[in-house]
Amino acid sequence: MKSKATRKIIILATVISVASSALFGFLGYSLTYGEYYRHFIAMKVRIAEICASAIDGDAHDAFTGGEAVDDPAYRRTLAFLNGVLAVDPAITFLYTLVPDGGSGFNYGVDAGISPHDTVWIESSDFALECFFDSDGVFIVRSEGLPHKKDFSVKKGASRYAVGIKRTGERVQLSVDGITLASISPGTGSGGRIGVRFADTELTQELYSAETVFAFGERLLSVSLSVSHRGESCSGPGTPYVNTEGNIERFRASFASGTAASDADPHDDTYGPMISCRAPVKNASGTVVALLVLDVSEREVRKVRFSIITALVLSFLPVAFVMVALINLMMQVFIVKPFRALIEGVSRVKFSDGENSSRSPIHSTP
């Protein structure tokens, strides 16, 4: 009976301790993560503002086409933004956008530098990054995840099946059974990647193209561009492709001329993102471009996980201490008096209906 009572008390103490630690841990996580998230977004907006203010807006006006890649001002801006991208691993994409004369944007400077020849296939519903790795294996990256075999991309209620079929040196890339591109390694001009998009063979001079495809009843405009190793992922003048919601937010930021950010991750063709935006202005104060700093939701989840891990590790010792304290209090105020009562009762002897002995039981103050 003694061991059963002790076990029950220890179990009760453990349950109380774990429940209290979980409650305090949850409150700590809610306060810590909320505060971190606000500071995190504010810090990224500030970085975007600093980058935008460091760009020469008058020189940026010339970053409208492929010829700008030889402009020293373009090379300096690219090197500067790429340096920012390199020192902050939380930044997924960093680039400037300029109005295309209609309702969309073109890239001005994209800070990403391609480590290999890369084919970018983009639409409002999906985006695919395609390349051959150092071993000659063809890889398609979608929403940050690499794929070597067929896979699917989900966008709202739509799901697209991406097919990867290798025939000899060429790889046929298809979506929902429709061949989008035929890609081969090292067969293009100067040993560069060779790309055929729909009926167009891309060359060094023609590095981007756009075609409308019919996926079932849905017509989707799909663009393809090529970036070579050591070059910017998106050359100046390359059309910017994304969801209409994102482009609308960018238009609003460009028109207001003020820095802004998303409160929560938004739907992006490259996966859920948090976008921070800041205007690039010329000497007269006119907005000529929009600097965009994108942070993948995966980066936010990493920090969230690290916060949870830190809280768990910090509250585990607290939980053990609480178990020990509650167990000690139970022993002093409940177990010992209870044992004294049990031992006293067990010594009671009945003789002629009278107790022959009485147990002194003292209440614990």
pLDDT in tens, the chain (365 residues): 445 655 666 666 666 666 666 666 666 656 666 777 788 889 999 999 999 999 999 999 999 988 899 999 999 999 999 999 999 988 999 999 999 988 899 999 999 999 988 999 999 889 999 999 888 899 999 988 999 999 999 887 788 999 999 988 889 999 999 999 999 887 544 567 888 887 777 766 557 788 888 888 888 899 898 888 888 999 899 999 998 889 999 999 999 999 999 888 888 888 889 999 999 999 999 999 999 999 988 877 776 666 666 666 666 666 666 666 666 666 666 666 666 666 666 666 544 455 555 555 555 55
Cα–Cα distance measured from residue 331 to residue 336, given in angstroms and rounded to the nearest whole number:
6
Residues 6+ apart with CB under 8 A from 307: 29, 32, 33, 36
Q: Give, in order, the Cα–Cα distances in Å from 341 to each of 353, 360, 361.
A: 21, 9, 7
Angle between helical axes of 72-87 and 2-54 (0-180°, round to 10): 170
Cβ-based burial of 179 (10 A; exposed 0-12, middle 13-18, buried ≥19): middle
Give Cα separations from 249 to 104, 252, 253, 277 (angstroms): 11, 5, 6, 10
Q: What pLDDT is attached to residue 255?
A: 95
pTM above 0.85, yes or no: no
Structure tokens at 166: 């290798």
Q: What is the pLDDT, as a whole number, of residue 10?
A: 62
Nearest Cα residue to 125 out of 98, 154, 150: 154
Longest C-alpha distance within the chain, in Å?
117
pLDDT at residue 175, rounded to an integer: 93
Q: Give the model's pLDDT for residue 335.
A: 60
